[in-house]
Structure 1
Amino acid sequence: MSASAMRGLGQGSGAALRALEVDPRLVGMLGALLAIWLGFDLLSGGAFLTPRNLWNLSVQTASIAVMACGMVLVIVTRNIDLSVGAILGVTGMVIGVLQARLLPELLGLEHPATWLIAVLAAVLVGGAIGLLQGALIAWLAIPSFIVTLGGLLVWRGAAWWVTQGQTVAPMDGRFRMLGGGIEGAIGATASWILGGLACAAILAALLASRRRRLRFGFPVRPLWAEATVAILAVGAVLGTVAVANAYPLPAGIARRVIEEAGGTWVPGTFIPHGLAVPVLVAIGVGIVITVLALRTRFGRAVFAIGGNPEAAELSGINTRRTIMLVFGLMGALCGVAACIATARLNAATNAAGSLDELYVIAAAVIGGTSLAGGAGTIAGAMLGALVMQSLQSGMVLLGVDAPMQNIVVGLVLVLAVWLDTVYRGRMR
């Protein structure tokens, strides 16, 4: 192919992306994710791209994706939070003690309110820790790097202090649904219904956005671009549901389910898992934080602070309060992630959340959040979390040892920051 033809192809691709209104970095990230999946599937002899592995991958990604949503807002304000893994650890120990020791004595075993109290406690404890750190950063002007680095050590030590290093188990039966597994899937029928509702919501949102633009005289996508976006979005939802429903319950579990329902077990009966509860929680968090960031005064204040802190303060934004609330939100999301991680293990351990800060920051940066502040997307961060977890899951599948996994993650983080720097330089 000649140089002129290649330039024409590049210009055509750029025009198509502009018509679709898609961030080129998002396309690049999707391409990288596809390459990672295909590469690991080839190296593992087809074991990576199986319904079972993809279902487990989605569950493993959930807690990191939840925290990455909060990390986007933290980094957008030109700050950083190195303590997220430690906050997850100490919060997990607190809710573990509540479920395994305190609440059974007060309410009895497997009380219907136990899991609700545990989740509320996780959000409150995590949020309180975040607000404390945010207050130190906003009102005492201590750099966030130092406050959260200290928090990493303090809260990791506090997690050990709660139970003197002992593992706490088991968790409440209803609470375990938050971790996925056999108990934490909604089944095929509910998954298809939820997928259908999601597709309808996507189409309605695209139609409403187009009508709103036309009403105010703003430019709109060409019809082919609008249809392409709709097809891709709906296809992604339906494909996700199809993969979740292609992963069957183990034969022993399926037999028990059928017999408990009064049926007769037939060997080979296929009962799908369906979508996992922690994945639905992560998606719900992502939607809520996206609306908060893009459709509220608080979200606009966050991005204004990241763009120019001095101008934001002069325009009347209470920058100190906003930064404190951002860290409080980050802590609350660590509490939600602690519920997912603790429920998945069915135990609260001292090691919970170790090195999660690395994965969360990497997910946000890979997803397009600039360390210079002022720019970032929640969807990009969640996709970045999937990229990071795919790397880890693939390396585990290939038998790569833990030190090499850390080396790869570190290199990917450095590469992502470098690519962001290059992209920002070209945009100027």
Structure 2
Amino acid sequence: MKRLLRATELDTRLLGMIGAMLIIWIGFDIFTGGLFLTPRNLWNLSVQTASVAVMATGMVLVIVTRNIDLSVGSILGFVGMIMGVLQAEILPQILGFEHPLIWVIALAAGLLLGAAIGALHGSIIAFLNVPSFIVTLGGLLVWRGATWFVTSGRTVAPMDATFRLMGGGTNGSIGATWSWIVGLLACAAIVAIILNSRRQRYRFGFPLRPVWAEVFLSGVGCAIVLVAVWVVNSYPWPINIARNYAEANGIAWPEGGLFIAHGIAVPVLVALAVGIVMTFISTRLRFGRYVFAIGGNPEAAELAGIKTRWVTVKIFALMGALCAIAAAISTARLNAATNAQGELDELYTIAAAVIGGTSLAGGTGTIAGAMLGALVMQSLQSGMVLLGIDTPFQRIVVGIVLVVAVWLDTIYRGRSR
């Protein structure tokens, strides 16, 4: 095992989290009588994880710089309400009902608004020297109250038909064929990334991984992708929706029923795309290097010429834009904008980042770990719902898990010194 870990250079903390998640999955499957590891529940689990996973990718950069953002849930609710009002009440009067540009304008407005709110928070933190805890705590209260004032507490519905695709469901999935195509493209990308990494190591004279380790990583990565595609393709449309589809398209209804696979949900694709982009930003761009440099030693980063204040503003602006994407997913999934939308999401987002290996001391964190942490958090919540555990006790469990994660991070940092 030591030889395998050394040769493949796998992160032991990430492997430990994957092992813990598998234990959680198997345990819930046993106690729920086999309900947890069904294609239906795993498909729903992936959709439910999407919005928190998107925000967790931004929370990594925030925490890496030794800051915190407690306002993400309230920003999600406020931006979601604005996008809902634009789609349901304002734009149809201007452009007409179901105009093809309604969802585009609403989404663009949400992204700009989210980024502006984040930039406002970042500016106060960076230039007025107010601690991020206080600024974002104030933002949590301000934007939650502003959400209520937009519609005086009303729920706004329905959303634009195209916009609703971002929420998943039978129409918000890409089907079996496209899911296999996406899966094969992902496998090709995994192999290409590993080959390119080997080429770059050789070019700059860095030590190369053994060929068998490269083959092992490629095989495991492709196997995980293909198994995930097989699972989502094993979840069929509900029988009534499938029957209506058959009647509308003149398809004869077979004796055993018509099997139409959901495939990969659109919000999952959005979350994965955000994860890829954020990984590129944090590991390949100068901005990402600046973020980790600030987290490692803010004073040294500033003396090195990094404009730490502007980097802080950009981080919070990016966090706000990610909240807007999460708001779009959440609003589309509910087909409504509500005042309670995003409540406690700040807890789950911070917990996902910390469980995923992001250190509250700053300087350490990965995007993939945060997204996996979001999946662990949602797995706990989903399993407890299937077991019929009350919501108050679910929050107790989440709180305990968060404290344990921080404690384990403290132990890990202490041993690595």
TM-score by length of 1: 0.96
Deviation at 1:158, TM superposition (A): 0.4
Whole-angstrom CA distance in 1 between matches of 2:295 and 2:27? 37
Partner SS for 1:321: helix
User: Is 1:169 the equivalent of 2:154?
Assistant: no
Structure 1 SS opposite 2:373 = helix
Deviation (angstroms), 1:264: 2.1
Match of 2:385 among 396, 420, 427: 396
Matches of 1:348 and 1:29 in 2, distance apart? Answer: 34
SS in 2 for 1:332: helix
1:339 aligns with 2:328: yes
How many Å apart are 1:215 and its aligned residue?
2.0
Please report how far the alpha carbon of residue 116 of structure 1 lies from its aligned counterpart in structure 2 after TM superposition: 1.0
Q: Structure 2: how far apart are the matches of 1:22 and 1:420?
A: 18
* Deviations 1:76-98 (CA, angstroms, capped at 9, x unpaired): 01100000000000001100100
Match of 2:263 among 255, 274, 282: 274
Please give the residue correspondences for 1:73-92 in structure 2 after superposition, counting only pairs within 5 Å: 73-92=61-80
In 1: Cα distance, 2:202 partner to 2:285 partner? 23
Measured against aligned partners, the alpha-carbon deviations of 1:265-288 in whole angstroms (never above 9, x if no partner) come to: 224111000000000000000000
Q: Does residue 33 of structure 2 align to residue 45 of structure 1?
A: yes
Task: Report what 1:7 is aligned to.
Answer: none
Residue 396 of structure 2 corresponds to 407
1:127 aligned residue (110, 115, 119): 115
Give unpaired runs (5+ residues) of structure 2: none
Query: Is 1:206 equivalent to 2:194 in the alignment?
Result: yes
Partner of 1:186: 174
Residue 119 (structure 1) shift: 1.1
CA distance in 1, matches of 2:220, 2:373: 19
* Aligned position for 2:15: 27
Q: Distance in 2 between matches of 1:303 and 1:278?
A: 29
1:259, distance to aligned residue in structure 2 (A): 2.6
Deviates most, 106-115 or 315-324: 106-115
Instruction: Give the drift of 1:261.
Output: 2.5
Q: Match of 1:375, as an amino acid?
A: T
Instruction: Describe the superposition over 1:32-87 as per-residue Cα deviations: whole angstroms up to 9, x where unpaired.
Output: 00000000000000000000000000000000000000000000011000000000
The partner residue of 2:340 within 339, 351, 356 is: 351
**Which residue in the other structure is 2:284 paired with?**
295
Inter-partner Cα distance in structure 2 for 1:329 and 1:168: 27
1:218 paired residue number: 206
The one-letter code sitting in structure 2 at the alignment partner of 1:226 is E
Which residue identity lines up with residue 169 of structure 1 in the other structure? A
Cα distance in 1, alignment partners of residues 3 and 396 from structure 2: 38
Task: Tell me by how many angstroms 1:16 deviates.
Answer: 2.0
Report the AA paired with residue 193 of structure 1: I
CA distance in 2, matches of 1:123, 1:232: 36
Q: How big is each residue's C-alpha offset from its partner over 1:77-128, in whole Å with a ceiling of 9 and x where there is no partner? A: 1100000000000001100100110011011111111111111111111111
Instruction: Return the offset for 1:15.
Output: 3.2
Correspondence for 1:370:
359
**Cα distance between partner residues in 1 of 2:186 and 2:11:** 23
**Aligned mate of 2:374, from 385, 388, 405:** 385
Give the 3-state SS of the residue equivalent to 1:85 in structure 2: helix
- 1:224 alignment partner, SS class: helix
Matched, 1:245 2:233: yes
Name 2:305's counterpart in structure 1: 316
- Structure 2 residue matching 1:221: 3-state secondary structure: coil
Partner Cα distance (2:396, 2:386) in 1? 17
Aligned residue among 295, 316, 330 for 1:327: 316
Report how far residue 417 of structure 1 moved: 0.3
Query: Within 1, Cα distance between the matches of 2:203 and 2:81?
Result: 53
Q: Structure 1 unaligned runs (5+)?
A: 1-12
- What is the aligned-residue identity percentage? 69
Alpha-carbon distance, 1:300 to partner: 0.7
Q: Aligned partners of 2:330 and 2:113: how far apart in 1?
A: 16
Aligned mates of 1:413, 1:15 — CA distance in 2: 32
Residue 114 of structure 1 corresponds to 102
Q: Distance in 2 between matches of 1:261 and 1:302?
A: 53
C-alpha distance in structure 2 between counterparts of 1:302 and 1:15, whole Å: 33
Deviation string, structure 1 residues 122-164 (Cα, Å, up to 9, x no partner) = 1111111000000000000000000000000000000011101
Residue 133 of structure 1 aligns to a residue in which SS?
Answer: helix
Compute the displacement of 1:381 (Å).
Answer: 0.2
Q: Distance in 2 between matches of 1:365 and 1:322?
A: 22
SS at match of 1:141: coil
**What is the distance in 2 between the residues matched to 1:375 and 1:278?**
28
Match of 1:70 in 2: 58
Code of the residue aligned with 1:181 in structure 2: it is: G
1:182 Cα deviation (Å)?
1.2
TM-superposed deviation, 1:248: 0.2
Matches of 2:105 and 2:6, distance apart in 1: 48
Deviates further, 223-232 or 179-188: 223-232
